[in-house]
Structure 1
């Protein structure tokens, strides 16, 4: 596994943490302008003011605010290095409660070519430039990345659960139906057991690819400017939440596709072309579509929603002739790859460039939004997809390839403001 070490986290003061629910926010990439305004109104110390400031120069504003809060005592540095167990309890769409268990540590940054940390999705240049500016100004990890590792013995999980059962959390915050609790472990013996149990295990990035890439770029900048660089400076590490893929609370939700602005789109023609490759089942509504997908074991099963038509489709031919033979088998087994290659590209004529730019394609995380978008008339066709599995994420990562953009949604998102990581 990449080297992980305890670190001196920055946390809100005990007084402010009495109202911790007013201080946290999601990561920057899921915050709309309206949501940003609402978070600003929740507290003058909400982490949105560091993660995504409203000011014209957001990076300088974040740096100045961070310094002010540290000087004023609203934020405080832990005096002893620690790792921080972080548990999120939530309900799925069926009302079943889950608790995802993981921990924050400082993880050494590696180039992907070293195969200690592996990506699974494509990244875009714009977000990386934005986050690099924030790194430069604040010299702090405001939000962490989300990494996965595989340990069937669940050694670290058992250590965390034993500790959390006998200690009160230092942060206990609720946000949009999710309970977020954080603990602090400073005992060197327990920390050493964490480190030892996770040796020789790769980390797979579940969420935060842009922030990880940014961390590598920032490390390279700092190292080049530091004649005394040793490799042990804090900027060589990045704030990382690590969860075991064998944790029962680890869930991946699907991300559905909405197609719009295609010239000459014809829903009836699309249905007839789909019938060349798929068995097509006419369905009545969202509930029937959910039942269809839940009952279909194939990875190549989808829902198709247009105005006045709901279809369940399942591939009836061998997928191999329909896919790029140069792709690794792990990618060919992904339903999203066939959706993109066959339906979006070949049948609907959406180019790879247009998909990357989202010229004709947008993404939603709730199948209800697919039906709402069709009803609004703003979308021509929606594709409801099955969730990618954790095993598929790992299989693709191990090949060195990446999945299509927006392949996975690990729920819930890690909350920004639980703690911060200084890079100086």
Structure 2
């Protein structure tokens, strides 16, 4: 039977990673791919033309797409396209990147390993957004039939002492391979730690901490769904079976190189008969509205100001800011930490009160809003008539993410965009029964 004590700490395990063979790894840029939920149609078309690109495993095509992925995986393993490392390890993963408009280079330091797939109720891995059941089922089916994990989700732990970074830095002195530049302009570098004593120290540090899931909620819930199905079929499982684990990229939330970019709201449509002038009139019931001369100044004008947004409407620019006295009208059944967020204010007072799209569930499925990361794209699409209005937002802070997660609530959809994203195909792991034999089993 399962030992309940295993569920009180963040248990991580090293893995015997599967990687492209040394010849292919010399050209790793040709085989990595964006995550399944951020890859564009144009990117997909280009990647699918390469028969060895990892997208064929992560976002497979075909009438029986998952069956195709399973067959392709077996072929790649048999032909030596993918090879498994002999020893288990923790894989250091660094991403060097620059933010738009800046020449400063950052380096986000982290590592990939297996983490036990904890239920949300265990309060070990914490979430900050809800998921779509169809996408979770898609990920669970792919995992169940291939028993292979093609890209790591992104988790955050807080360690103000930065104890693990020195081990990661040392491993990076001898990298396995690196990209020249991935699809988002980042340089990705992989190294491995196989020293047993160091790995156990990683386990000890994580055992004292909770993990916030930054990115990959659908993939993580896919692992949960698969694990629950296996447990239902085998109630006498020991808890050490490989399918109890999930591939995760862990980074320190205390680091200065953790970046969250804003995601703006683009109104593709408005209720019938609602003119631009009427929209402004309705907004005035809740917001102060100040016309501005130049739309390109909006991000700077609202920067750091709570409950403030840029509005681009009919070629005109405005700064809008919630009147403090009306915030108490926000009556959604959620925590004070969520109610304090800019995006909760935007979704409640604009989408619900002004546009009549009532409640988070209705807003999640409403096709009249698009979530756009590019500020200039927002302006361009309004100018082209592809959208009625753009609401420009500030980024969510890491402190806000932590407060919301610890409150047990979730944020509005598309609240965070952790940058850069991890890439698919850089490291694969298996959860097949054969993986149960490696020596690292008990978390210290």
TM-score range, shorter chain: over 0.9
For the residues of structure 2 that align with 1:359 and 1:290, how far apart are their CA atoms? 25
Please identify, of 28-37 and 144-153, the stretch whose mean Cα deviation from structure 2 is larger: 28-37
Q: Which residue of 1 aligns with 2:291?
A: 282
- Give the aligned partner of residue 199 of structure 1: 207
Q: 1:326 to 1:53 in 2, by over 3 A?
A: closer
Query: By how many angstroms is 1:273 displaced?
Result: 2.8
SS of residue in 2 equivalent to 1:53: coil
Do 1:7 and 1:105's aligned partners in 2 also have CA atoms closer than 8 Å? Answer: yes
Farther off after superposition, 309-318 or 372-381: 309-318
Q: Equivalents in 2 of 1:362, 1:301: separation in Å?
A: 19
| Residues in 2 aligned to 1:316 and 1:351: alpha-carbon distance in whole angstroms | 21
Equivalent pair of 1:4/1:106 in contact (CA under 8 Å): yes
1:400 to 388, 391, 408: 408
SS state at 2:181 partner: strand
Q: Hey, what's the Cα distance between the residues in 2 that align with 1:401 and 1:279?
A: 29
Q: How does 1:290-309 map to 2 (within 5 A)?
A: 290-294=299-303, 297-309=304-316
1:242 deviates by 0.4
Unaligned 5+ runs, structure 1: none
**Could you tell me how far 1:304 is from its partner in structure 2?**
0.8
> Which aligned segments of 4 or more residues in structure 1 are displaced greater than 3 angstroms?
169-173
**Alignment size in residue pairs:** 420
Paired position in structure 1 for 2:394:
386
What is the rounded CA distance, in whole Å, between the counterparts of 2:176 and 2:99 in structure 1?
Answer: 24
Whether 1:360 aligns to 2:407 is no
The answer to whether residue 347 in structure 2 is matched with residue 335 in structure 1 is: no
After superposition, the C-alpha distances for 1:316-370 in whole angstroms (9 at most, x for unaligned) are 3235412127431111110000101111110121233441113211111111111
Q: Which residue of 1 aligns with 2:43?
A: 35
Provide the residue aligned with 2:98 in structure 1.
Answer: 91
Between the aligned partners of 2:136 and 2:399, the Cα distance in structure 1 is 27
* 1:221 matches 2:190: no
Query: Retained in 2: the 8 A contact 1:69–1:75?
Result: yes
| Aligned mate of 1:78, from 74, 80, 85 | 85
| Aligned twin of 1:423 | 431
Q: Give yes or no for the alignment of 1:19 onto 2:33.
A: no
Q: Is residue 171–residue 183 contact of structure 1 (8 Å, CA) maintained in 2?
A: no
C-alpha distance in 1, partners of 2:293/2:141? 50
44, 50, 57: which is aligned to 2:51? 44
1:111 and 2:111 equivalent?
no
Measured after TM superposition, the shift of residue 305 of structure 1 is 1.0
- Does residue 245 (structure 1) correspond to residue 223 (structure 2)? The answer is no
- Shifted more, 358-367 versus 260-269: the winner is 260-269
Q: What's the RMSD between the two structures over aligned residues?
A: 1.5
C-alpha distance in structure 1 between counterparts of 2:381 and 2:66, whole Å: 35
Are residues 189 and 162 of structure 1, via their aligned partners in 2, closer, same or farther at CA, if it must alter by over 3 Å? Answer: same
Distance (whole Å) between structure 1 residues aligned to residue 326 and residue 401 of structure 2? 20
* C-alpha distance in 2 between matches for 1:94 and 1:319: 36
Structure 2: distance between partners of 1:145 and 1:121: 14
Task: Describe the SS at the equivalent of 2:405.
Answer: helix
